Amino acid sequence: ISESGSKHAAQNGAAHSTSTEPPAARPNVGNKVTVVLGAQWGDEGKGKVVDLLAQDADIVCRCQGGNNAGHTVVVDSVEYDFHLLPSGIINPKVTAFIGNGVVIHLPGLFEEADKNVRKGKSLVGWDKRLIISDRAHIAGHSQETI
């Protein structure tokens, strides 16, 4: 219960604990969401923040953008480059989502995955841990020529 929730309970005569101990963790229950949002035109350091946060995440999501920008993640002295794949997918315990607002250049997505898999074992099994929205925007070579 938040501090204000505790005060509300006390005002209504409900019993509450005055212990300073944190509540016991509930195993296997995800109840925390962290959003990294940029308010400029990129190059804000979002990738570095996401890399740190994704180490403890169960789920990561890329919500918008395309493969025109990217960032590098270093794991065990190996540099991985990400443009479309959510960089948190490098954690083998993570399920990664690509959302509705992402423009997915399919050849680029598979090239990126293949290059990163060849660099090290961190991306092994990425295809079983990636979920792509059926409303994401798909682009291929024909869109490049237009």
Active site amino acids: 43, 71
The response to whether 70 counts as a known ligand-binding position is yes
Which residue is listed with tokens 């959510």?
A: 86
The response to whether 68 counts as a known ligand-binding position is yes
The response to whether 39 counts as a known ligand-binding position is no
The response to whether 140 counts as a known ligand-binding position is no
The response to whether 46 counts as a known ligand-binding position is yes
The response to whether 47 counts as a known ligand-binding position is yes
Helices (H), 12-145: 46-54, 106-119, 141-145
Give the largest Cα separation in the chain, rounded: 70
Which residues lie closer than 8 Å to 126 by C-beta, 6 or more apart?
A: 85, 89, 96, 113, 116, 117
Q: Which residues contribute to the annotated binding site for GTP?
A: 42-48, 70-72
Binding-site annotation: residue ranges? 42-48, 68-72
Residue numbers belonging to the annotated binding site for IMP: 43-46, 68-71
Feature table: binding site for Mg(2+): 43, 70
